[in-house]
Each structure stands twice: as C-alpha cells, then as structure tokens.
Amino acid sequence: MPDPNRDYLTLALNQYWFAPPVALWRAIELRVLAAETFIRPLLDLGCGDGLIAQVLFAGEAPVEAGFDPWLSQVRKAPASGAYRFVQQARGDAMPYPDASFNTVFSNSVLEHIPNLDPVLREVTRVLRPGGRFLATVPSDMFRRLLAGYRERDAKGDRTGAETYAAAVDRRLEHHRYLTPTQWAKRLDLAGMHLLHTRYYIPSEVEALWDRANATYGIHPNDTLFHGKPYYRWLASPRLRQLGYQKLVRRWIVRTLGQRWRRAYTLDVLEGGVGGGLLVVGEKT
C-alpha cells in the first residue's frame, strides 16, 4: 500500500526538478492517492514514463501491469522498475483478459483522451467484480481557479478570462472538466458506480501553480505573469553534459521543498472545491 505519510513533495521535486510546477501538482495528487486503498493486482492506465508509480509504490513489489499509447513513454517506463510488465496500447482496446485486475488507477490521464466512454467501458471489462477504479483529473473548477482567469475576471474582463483559460486548455491538451455528478453518470454508463469524489488543490494553491508555470517557463509568453523562459533553457536536456544541472536540482529540491511545503499540505475545506478531483468508482 502507498504510504500517506511519505514526503511526496521532495520526491516529486527530485524527479521533476526541470518543471517545478508539475512537481507540485503531482506531489499533491500522490498524497491524495496514497490515502486510498489499492488492492492487487494493479493496472496503471496511461503509465507514461513510470515515475508516478515509482514514487507512489516505492519499496513495494512492482505494479503488475502498465500501458501507454506513446511508444517513447513505453520504452522509458521499464527503467523505473515500477512494473512487472509494460506495453504500448490504447485505452479503448486494453490487451488484457476480462476481470484481470482488482484495481485500475490513472493519474492525470483521462482529461487528455478525446473519447472517454470507450475507455471507461474497457476499465470495467478488465476489473474484477467489486474492483475499484481510481483516477485523478482536473476538476470542473479548474479553469475558474486559474490565477490568470481570476485576475482578469475580477477586472470585469470575462472575455479575457475565457481566452486565458482556453490557452491553458490548448497548452495542456485538456478535453473536459466534469463535475462529480457528471462523473457518476459516466461511470454508470460504463458499468461502474461512483463510490466517492474528493476535491484537492485549493484555490490559492492553483493560483500559486499557475503563476509558477510562468516563473519557470512553462508558459513564458503570458503577459500577466511575465514568464521567465531562462529557467526552461537552464534545465534543457541539451545542456546536461555541462554538469551544473545537478546543482540546480539540489537547489530546487531544497528551496521549493521548504517554500511550497504549506501549499503541498493544504487541503480543500469540507464542502469546498479545488482544481483537482479524485474519482473512485467500483465495478457493479
């Protein structure tokens, strides 16, 4: 089982030092996921390079299976040591027999899939009866909690706010932001029922994350936050051979591990909303 007391912020910063805002968001997702129950065998839907599973299940037996549609990611994932088996596959055509897994989990993947319903049906097919599906996704409040959206909207510039959010959608390749009720309907159509949802990433943390994307060159052309693309250049893989990036990594881990500690631990108040949403379903 994942350890909810593990310092996921430090671990994520060490892995994603080249994109610190990504590390902050991932660390919070990992902390939220670690509070849930994972019953083996497990399937990682959209495993990417394996870094998420490597951190989440550190010190445990490898995850039974992971897959991703991108060959470049599938080639990297085995090096993480997080999986027994990794292969290239699509979410709407999973290469596993019926009822193969007790848990299917997905971290920041479903929002990138244009046609979601076939994927959810496949999740149901490969789950055993009573098996659980855990997914972290941006919530229905994600766009409105962006600092760039809120600051424009506060000035009465709703058009500018929507334009800003649309630019973020394009950059992140997000296709949807569903409410908990909408997730319940989607899961029901796929043969699952919603057990619970949980908002995470409070508004002030998403604002910090949004501004940090500019600070660290993730969207350097934004005129509101005056992005500094030099960090993106500093962290470029093309400069790795110069040797200085190990020092940059250590500085990022030490400095932001302290500076962002409160943001990492801050929870959404009961009854409140946040920019991220944990969705937990069960096969009926």
Decide: pTM greater than 0.95: no
Rounded distance between C-alpha atoms, residue 192 and residue 283, angstroms: 4
| pLDDT number for residue 225 | 42
Between the alpha carbon of residue 38 and those of residues 156, 227, 280, the distances in Å are: 45, 39, 11
- In order along its 284 residues, the chain shows pLDDT tens digits of 788 889 999 999 999 999 999 999 999 999 999 999 999 999 999 999 999 999 999 999 999 999 999 999 999 999 999 999 999 999 999 999 999 999 999 999 999 999 999 999 999 999 999 999 999 999 999 999 999 999 999 999 999 999 999 999 999 999 999 999 999 999 999 999 999 999 999 999 999 999 999 888 776 444 444 445 678 778 888 888 888 999 999 999 999 999 999 999 999 999 999 999 999 999 98
SS3 of residue 128 by DSSP:
strand
Phi, psi dihedrals of residue 106, rounded to the nearest 5°: -150, 125
| pLDDT number for residue 233 | 75
8-140+176-220+227-283 CATH choice from 3.40.50.150, 3.60.15.10, 3.60.20.10, 3.40.50.720: 3.40.50.150
Structure token digits, residue 215? 């600070």
Phi, psi dihedrals of residue 109, rounded to the nearest 5°: -120, -45
Report the alpha-carbon angle 72-78-82, nearest 5. 125
For residues 202, 103, 118, 182, the Cα torsion angle rounded to the nearest 10 degrees is -30
Q: Where are the domains of the chain?
A: 8-140+176-220+227-283
| pLDDT number for residue 214 | 86
| pLDDT number for residue 238 | 81
| pLDDT number for residue 222 | 46
